Amino acid sequence: MTAFTHQFHPTSLREYDIRGIIGKTLSGKDAFAIGRCFGSIVAREGGKKVAVGYDGRLSSPELEEQLVAGLVACGLEVARIGCGPTPMLYFASYELKADGAVMVTGSHNPPDYNGFKMMLGKKPFFGPQIQQIGSMAASGDVVAEASGSSTQVDVSDAYVARLLQDYDGGDRKLKVVWDPGNGSGAEICKRLAEKLPGEHIVINGEIDGNFPNHHPDPTVLKNLEQIIAKVRETGADLGIAFDGDADRIGAVDGEGNMLFGDQLLVVLARDVLKQHPGGTIIADVKASQVLFDEVAKAGGTPLMWKTGHSLIKAKMAETKAPLAGEMSGHIFFADKWYGFDDAPYSAVRLLGIVARSSESLAQTRDALPKVINTPELRFDCPDERKFGVIQEVKARLASSGAKVQDVDGVRVLTEDGWWLLRASNTQAVLVARAEAKTEQGLENLKTLLAEQLEASGLAAPDFSGENAGH
């Protein structure tokens, strides 16, 4: 028998997951190697069972099959939950008492992408652990070949029942439009819609890996055009959208206005804090100052943390925060739930809040303090340069006496508002954002940001994109 070794494409091993383009940077051989290496890690820690799921992409069944073959070759018992949302796999790992879990998913990427998200025990598997998979494969550092087993397990009924258990909206019948975006959360979405009280309209409710109706990312306004139109046409109370693997949520109020991730978190945090007075609410550095102020106003302890779903989950466990969220629509409930990002669950909790409220979601959104901000600006910067730029900016700001929050890049507070510059963990880009109370204030912040970039020899990003009222 020949010894196992494998080389991954250098771009596929990311900070939070393994991801690539099918036929170019990711293949079935990669999937087998991931199974062999991740399975070896689980086995060496004394684990015996791994749960596996996959999304609705055309390439996912083959990748899942190869992944399972690699895990079985480590002597493990593999519970195959089939096609569904990523959070259903996370749920399965708890329900089935698995020692590890792997989801085959391209998340919200275009149709020709795919990838793998992993959990070891009950914790996210990321950062140096993902790099370890690469070095294990290259050196053939895996457990001796053994014959494990694989079984099909349907956890979907248990998952839907558990989601419904935390609906607390009473008997008020809301009218809701759902758009799972032809992603892997579509079937679960339809089953939820059938069982929740009220009138529910599901669009793009068939799982289709071609994503024929729109790109599956609900944080981009263009991708919400269909749901906005349907909410307005039907006079619905609100609309809820999922990304490609339903771990991120988008929301639209009854007037057809998009709620940004941080605005949604305000609504959810106010409710959670009634049961957890003084509780820590975590949001990433891209979130509006309005969120942190509103959490404090509601009696909570706001905590700004690094962007990245794995980093947020780890911080939640450390601080025992009941709720956390990101601008990207990842919402994490540890209040009554398991602390992982779950769009169907977040939807159930949101519907309960709206049903119990004396005001509409549109009224709640309208009452939030008004600020003006840029969209998230992403611009190319080589991987070997991006973190250095942040250090240079930080050093210059320190000598100028500026007020800086530096949990993830630099977030600079001024009388006008704040501007942010951080290095992406997953791409060769820098990310910038700015927020102010006035248009002139925003211009001032953009100027400060541009000056810092130019001082590090970089051109300022294109600020011509529409500023968002927020």
Q: Angle at CA 368, nearest 5°, toward 364 and 372?
A: 135
Percent above pLDDT 90 for the chain: 91
Mean local confidence (pLDDT), 326-352: 97
Q: Angle at CA 16, nearest 5°, toward 10 and 17?
A: 60
Q: At what angle do helices 343-356 and 86-95 cross, to 10 degrees?
A: 100
Please write the tens of the pLDDT for every residue from 278-295.
999 999 999 999 999 999
Please write the tens of the pLDDT for every residue from 5-16.
999 999 999 988
CATH code of the region 18-154: 3.40.120.10
Give 373-469's CATH code, choosing from 3.40.50.300, 3.90.280.10, 3.30.310.50, 3.40.50.10420: 3.30.310.50
Mean local confidence (pLDDT), 321-345: 97
Taken in order 59, 61, 67, 69, the sign of the CA dihedral is negative
Residue with tokens 């519970």: 79
Mean local confidence (pLDDT), 79-85: 98
Could you give the CA distance from residue 197 to residue 126 in angstroms, rounded to a whole number? Answer: 39
Please write the tens of the pLDDT for every residue from 115-140.
999 999 999 999 999 999 999 999 99
Q: What is the pLDDT of residue 375?
A: 85
Please write the tens of the pLDDT for every residue from 210-262.
999 999 999 999 999 999 999 999 999 999 999 999 999 999 999 999 999 99
Mapped onto helix, strand or coil, the DSSP state of residue 174 is coil
Percent above pLDDT 70 for the chain: 98
Q: What is the pLDDT of residue 1?
A: 45
Taken in order 60, 66, 72, 76, the sign of the CA dihedral is negative
Q: What superfamily in CATH does domain 158-366 come from?
A: Alpha-D-Glucose-1,6-Bisphosphate, subunit A, domain 3 (3.40.120.10)
Strands, E, within 186-344: which ranges? 199-202, 238-242, 249-253, 258-259, 280-284, 301-305, 323-325, 331-333
Q: What is the pLDDT of residue 467?
A: 57
In CATH terms, are 158-366 and 373-469 the same topology? no
Mean local confidence (pLDDT), 376-401: 93
Residue 183: which of 66, 60, 100 has the closest Cα? Answer: 60
Its pTM stands at 0.95
pLDDT of 331 > 80? The answer is yes
Please state the domain extents for the chain.
18-154, 158-366, 373-469
Q: What is the pLDDT of residue 469?
A: 59
Please write the tens of the pLDDT for every residue from 197-209.
999 999 999 999 9
Residue with tokens 């306004």: 221
pLDDT of 461 > 90? The answer is no
Q: Please confirm, yes or no, whether 107 is among the known catalytic residues.
A: yes
The catalytic residue among 107, 156, 184, 310 is 107
* Type of residue numbered 457: G
pLDDT of 2 > 70? The answer is no
State the chain's mean pLDDT as an integer.
Answer: 95
Q: Which of 76-85, 142-151, 404-413, 460-469 has the lowest mean pLDDT?
A: 460-469
Mean local confidence (pLDDT), 329-342: 97
Number of H helices, E strands in the chain: 14, 23
Top pLDDT among 368 and 375 is at 368
The set of residues, in sequence order, having a beta carbon less than 8 Å from that of 430 and lying 6+ positions away, is 378, 379, 381, 386, 389, 390, 421, 422, 423, 424, 458
Q: What is the pLDDT of residue 83?
A: 98
Per DSSP, 464 falls in state T
Could you give the CA distance from residue 451 to residue 441 in angstroms, rounded to a whole number? Answer: 16
Could you give the CA distance from residue 418 to residue 408 in angstroms, rounded to a whole number? Answer: 14
Mean local confidence (pLDDT), 314-332: 96
Task: Indicate the pLDDT class of residue 425, thresholds 50, 70 and 90.
Answer: confident
Q: What is the pLDDT of residue 376?
A: 86
Q: What is the dihedral of CA 77, 80, 81, 84, to 10 degrees?
A: 140
